[in-house]
Amino acid sequence: MGNKTAGGRRPLAVVTGASSGIGLELARECVDGGFDLVVASDDGEIDAAAGFFRERGADVTAITADLSTADGVEALISAIDGRPVDALLANAGRALGKAFLDQDFDRVRGLVDTNVTGTLHLIHRVGQGMRSRRSGRILITGSIGGYVPGPFDAVYDATKAFLNNFSFALRHELKDENVTVTVLMPGPTETAIFERGDLGDTKAGVMKKDDAAEVAATGFKAMMAGDGDVASGLKAKLISAAANVVPSSVLAAAHAKGAKPWSGR
């Protein structure tokens, strides 16, 4: 899919959360793989990222949009401007640390609206076009945390469990439509999500993490191969294996050791 299509255009990839971290690296993988881009983020850094992608030879449309809202998703759809989307990399997400009852519920709602509602809305809008053309690839950034009950990270891990599960269901629904669905399940990765999600005051926040570029390369390769899922990094693969045999109570206790804040509750 790295070559021009029959109409002479380069294929188009839409990447969300593309201003930093895994999303930035996924967009770079797309550019190096021959795609033009529509990229989105909810911060002002997306324009600088777009300049980086243009320097690598891509035609890029960049938009600042809050994908936790219906208006934000529709603004991204408008930026696509009716062009066929060859690959949708639904990567935008938020995290939120600390005990659930100590969290600000507006932030909890924003996390769910970004990770779940906004992701579903975007896939629904773009996926309909893929199905009608009988062509497309969808990559969803889930998490290995979706396999583990996550004390002090409970809502985030639950949203990722939703995405992991949803991806396999959607994949089955589209199996005869020539549209593939892949879920990327990273372990702890070096991104800004820990700082933004108030996870700096935890063992997980300061531990050595996987490199975002390596995670993205793994995910992009799996998407292009049409694989159903891929866990990136040794720790993610170990957690995936353990989740099938270790009781949930044990997994929850282990997760709490890494996610519980050192200060406060």
Active-site annotation, residues: 156
HEC profile for the chain? Answer: CCCCCCCCCCCEEEEECCCCHHHHHHHHHHHHCCCEEEEEECCCCHHHHHHHHHHCCCCEEEEECCCCCHHHHHHHHHHHCCCCCCEEEECCCCCCCCCHHHCCHHHHHHHHHHHHHHHHHHHHHHHHHHHHHCCEEEEEECCHHHHCCCCCCHHHHHHHHHHHHHHHHHHHHCCCCCEEEEEEEECCECCCHHHHCCCCCCHHHHCCCECHHHHHHHHHHHHHHCCCEEEECHHHHHHHHHHCCCCHHHHHHHHHHHHCCCCCC
